[in-house]
Structure 1
Amino acid sequence: MTRIIAGDAKGVSLTVPKSGTRPTSDRVREAMFSSLDASGVLDGATVLDLYAGTGALGLEALSRGAAEALFVERGAKAANLLKRNARQVQDAIAARSRRVRTQVVTGSALGFAERDGGRFDVVFADPPYEVADTELEALLAGLAPRLAAGGVIVLERGARSGEPATPAALKRTHARRYGDTALLTYELTV
């Protein structure tokens, strides 16, 4: 079962599609969010969750203090379940007297990064492990102009996967491994 780990929506269960997604484990999410919480980047943040699946990463960020989240998911069925998950989390947070905004876009993460505007404080990218490094390099390059000053990109990969080349506008600040999962964190170079 996938659930919100902490914050205003703690304990809310998320519906997971029967196939086509690989939700981030509680252990990895807890490690990821401990680091983000410590940096203070989530408070009032605008979040982008790419390859969103259940929306667990963006919804966890909302539960922990982010103000709005935009989710991009290619699969129509997963996007519909994500909308339901977002409503549940929004309702749980609203019961604590805080309002958050969500939007779900059905489409390609790379296509979104290359064409859509907006600035984000936190970007989560949790692609299928088989996505090629070249696609991830293009994704990172497309995200760099959309990252707010002081913002971060968190890329989740298989621990055995290669590390994509970092575009000049970004610097990799952390690389951590949790079993079969690797988390890579990027910030703007300037």
Structure 2
Amino acid sequence: MRIISGLYKSRKIIAPKNLPVRPTTDMAKESLFNILNNLFYFDAISVLDLFAGTGNISYEFASRGTQQITSVDQDFGCIKFINQTAEKYNMPITTIKSDVFLFLEKCTQQAHVVFADPPYHFTEAQFAKIPELVFQNTLLLEDGLLIIEHSKHTNLSDLKGFSYSKTYGGNMFSFFEAH
């Protein structure tokens, strides 16, 4: 994976092969950050990265100046890798090893951007639980966004707070806002 912009632009980060992940493609990540760049000042926001995997999205936010990043994943190997990478590059990333749904049920930490990249094979009910818990616990700050990455074959437009979606290859980002 490669960091697209910011302090660590063009830096390649090689994740261990044994991690149970599907990193966001560079094309999809670049498109997502082009959208976010028009909505936020990266150095003035906080981010919650759910199902963080390799930390790909967290690193991109850190490279662009975000100082408050929390990465949540249940896999010990993923958390260990994110911690090692964050330490190596002095990135302000806090990790939490937890099942994301258990974390969301107890979370009180608000963020400007909540990014979730759950497994693409999730059921509709599992996908629906993410915005449900985010909105139920008021985890988005004012004018904040929940972004869920999923397969283009999954339709999340009926879920609470859905605003719009963008497709990049086989990936889709659905954007949600608190109303």
CA distance in 1, matches of 2:169, 2:39: 24
**Residue equivalent to 2:172:** 182
| Aligned positions, number | 176
The alignment yields a C-alpha RMSD, in angstroms, of 1.5
Q: Please state how far the C-alpha of 1:123 moved relative to its aligned partner.
A: 0.9
Between 1:15-24 and 1:143-152, the stretch displaced more is: 15-24
> Residue deviations 1:32-71, cap 9 Å, x none?
0000001125332110000101111111012112121000
Return the TM-score normalized by structure 2: 0.92
% identical aligned pairs: 26
Task: Give the secondary-structure state (helix, strand or coil) at the position aligned to 1:66.
Answer: coil
Task: Give the secondary-structure state (helix, strand or coil) at the position aligned to 1:3.
Answer: coil
Report whether the alignment pairs 1:154 with 2:144: no
CA distance in 2, matches of 1:143, 1:28: 23
Q: Please state how far the C-alpha of 1:173 moved relative to its aligned partner.
A: 2.3
Q: Please state how far the C-alpha of 1:14 moved relative to its aligned partner.
A: 2.1
Q: Check the 8 A contact 2:72/2:98 in 1, yes or no.
A: yes
CA distance in 2, matches of 1:136, 1:24: 17
Q: Check the 8 A contact 1:43/1:66 in 2, yes or no.
A: yes
Return the TM-score normalized by structure 1: 0.87
**Residue equivalent to 1:45:** 45
Q: Please state how far the C-alpha of 1:17 moved relative to its aligned partner.
A: 3.1
| Mapping for residues 62-77 of structure 1, pairs under 5 Å | 62-77=62-77
**Residue equivalent to 1:115:** 106
Which amino acid letter does the alignment assign opposite residue 28 of structure 2?
V
CA distance in 1, matches of 2:157, 2:80: 31
CA distance in 2, matches of 1:35, 1:130: 26
Q: Check the 8 A contact 1:49/1:125 in 2, yes or no.
A: yes
| Mapping for residues 10-159 of structure 1, pairs under 5 Å | 10-19=9-18, 20-90=20-90, 101-144=92-135, 145-159=138-152
Q: Check the 8 A contact 1:12/1:89 in 2, yes or no.
A: no
CA distance in 2, matches of 1:72, 1:12: 23
> Residue deviations 1:91-115, cap 9 Å, x none?
xxxxxxxxx6321111111111111
Structure 2 regions of 5+ residues with no counterpart?
A: none
CA distance in 1, matches of 2:167, 2:76: 31
